[in-house]
Copies of this chain bind each other. A is one copy, B any other.
Amino acid sequence: MTGAAAPRRGRGRPPAAERADGPGARERILEAARDEFAERGYDRTSVRGIAKAAGVDAALVHHYFGTKDEVFAAAVEVSFEPALVVPAVVGPGPAGVGERLARYFFDVWEDPAARAPLLAVIRSALTHEAAAKVLRGYVLRRVLERVAEELDVPDPRFRAELAASHMIGIAVLRYVIRVEPLASAEPEAIVAVVAPTLQQYLTEA
């Protein structure tokens, strides 16, 4: 006998709590959250529903992320990975930052798997103050602070927000309203016009 308290790894189906809390549980919860928010919208998504979709207990979702708002913030961030992206886009310095930002934008949005949850975020934020508050208070604040730290312009937050506003407006017209010719334009054609604007906002005094 190996002792009742020792986990019985590799022998049959492990107990639910063990599976749930094992490596990958956090990622499974985030993926489930992303899908739930994308499919149901902010209002009709619950921590209980996310937990069920991830095959874990709701307590584990609370343990990793806290409230529904905090799960939402984490699920949004996982869609565009600001911790990786901000250094990659802004880190190399001012030369070419506008083009890197515009290209990054299309890398994310032209990928349907990434687009669906981002659309869900925009829709949720536009229709539910709670979701707008999360986006404003967690996601945008963190990203914009990180970007602003790297910029050498007056009012860096303001400039970063104006650059972001352009990208968000393009996402709305191209991917949601789908107005032509913007909806069918090659990303490169849009980058060619927009990158110099972003470059100017993020670098010129």
Beyond A123-B127, A169-B169, A201-B193, whether A181 also contacts B158 by CB under 8 A is: yes
Which listed residue (B172, B179, B180) contacts A172, Cβ 8 A?
B172
Beyond A159-B193, A169-B167, A170-B162, whether A177 also contacts B132 by CB under 8 A is: yes
Q: How many A residues are at the interface, by size bracket?
A: 35 or more
- Copy tally for this chain in the complex stands at 2
Are B172 and A126 in touch, CB under 8 angstroms? Answer: yes
Give chain A's interface residues, CB within 8 Å of chain B.
122-123, 125-127, 132, 135-136, 140-141, 144, 155, 157-159, 161-162, 164-170, 172-174, 176-182, 185, 189-190, 193-194, 197, 200-201
Are B165 and A182 in touch, CB under 8 angstroms? Answer: yes
Are A136 and B177 in touch, CB under 8 angstroms? Answer: yes
Beyond A127-B127, A182-B158, A197-B197, whether A170 also contacts B177 by CB under 8 A is: no
